[in-house]
Amino acid sequence: MNVAVIMDSFKGSMTSREAGNAVREGIKGVYPNANIAVKPLADGGEGTGEILTESLGGKKISVSVSGPLGEKNIAYYGYLETEKVAVIEMAQAAGLTLLEEKNPLQADTFGVGEMILDAVQKGCREIWIGIGGSGTNDAGVGMLQALGYTFLDKEKNPIGRGGKEVGRIEFISDENVSSALKKCCFRIMCDVENELYGENGATYVFGKQKGVTEEQKEKLDKGIKHFAYQTEKFIGKDYSMKKGAGAGGGIGFAFLSYLQAEFFSGIQFVLEKLSIEEVIQNADIVITGEGRLDAQTGMGKAPLGVAELAKKYHKNVIAFAGTVTEGAKQCNEKGIDAFFPIVREIVTLEEATAKEKAIENLKDSVEQVFRVIQMKRGDV
């Protein structure tokens, strides 16, 4: 039996690789001679950089950058030396998890620009960036400031940093931008399709999770709309309504407008770069999963990307998750033939997500499912 195991992480519990190895152990408990290929997985969000870097033989580069509120922060990015490719996660420098207290008026993306500059100085001319998990709402202005763009107010004084400053921009200059930066190719991993501003934009859709209050929404939204207007005057094009412009607190707009970036589905990008299609082609059964299967999974998260690829080759797909909601039934319509929660008794969330217990539960659940497969195949 050939099995492809392609698991996303169980956030707060197991990494992608730990989950994959637990599945392998469960299968081996029934089919000790099975040929099992374990591949890590991510969808462009947290952990994507590490998985791509490790799987493609790169190394981690640590760099001191500004955190979202200007504090010094040690971030890392992946460096594929032979190809001169940098693999960056926005959240390393501007992530929500870096904020002890959410502050969308002050938080900025300056550190993301510092990471990019460091990679460019090391000779990278292709840069892959995952823009999930941000704690900012500055439309990428902080990143652009770090890259050398100058933003002035109506008195032609430099603006400050953070979401509150974006609406003050009246003049833009690229005189201090490195010529090397203009030779770079940016590939953005993003599954958010929202535009920059308005009811379906960055502030109104994602602002609350970053601390935006009802009183702040209108002002912040008007600010980034004004930035879009000034940007159009500067570059002669308007990218504000493009899919993904509102991703990462609007940093998607900055990448589209100032860095001519290409956008890719995070999961599709990872599947391609890790050559997972070839592994699926050679499998009899495909196993996938994540911490929680719900309606959002059915809208294109990592397990659905695996399932869609598996169905291209008419493979059976089984998913495992820490928890499963009623909305997860959509997954059955989109390529996951069956899914199973791994929690085996009533416990607290803390108990359920404890790493050792989660690994044990996943391993045991997989073993029981494969015992059913064994009976069906007549291998008993």
- Give the pLDDT band (50/70/90) at residue 377: confident
Cβ count near 152 (within 10 Å):
15
What is the length of the chain? 380
Query: Looking at the predicted structure, is the pLDDT value of residue 349 above 90?
Result: no
Output DSSP code: residue 219.
Answer: H
State which amino acid sits at residue 61: I
**pLDDT, greater one: 37 or 353:** 37
| CA atoms within 13 Å, Cβ hemisphere of 351 | 6
- Give the pLDDT band (50/70/90) at residue 129: very high
**∠ CA 152-130-188, rounded to 5°:** 75
Q: What is the DSSP secondary-structure string of 309-374? A: HHHHTT-EEEEEEEEE-GGGGHHHHTT--EEEE---S---HHHHH-HHHHHHHHHHHHHHHHHHHH
- Give the pLDDT band (50/70/90) at residue 368: very high
**∠ CA 374-375-376, rounded to 5°:** 90
Q: What's the whole-number mean pLDDT along residues 55-65? A: 95
Distance CA 256, CA 238 (A): 10
Q: pLDDT at position 286, please?
A: 97
Query: Looking at the predicted structure, is the pLDDT value of residue 225 above 80?
Result: yes
Query: Looking at the predicted structure, is the pLDDT value of residue 345 above 80?
Result: no
Q: Name 40's bridge partners.
A: 7
Any idea which residue has 């599954």 for tokens?
191
- Percentage, residues of the chain above pLDDT 90: 79
Q: Which two tokens stand for residue 74?
A: 């040690």
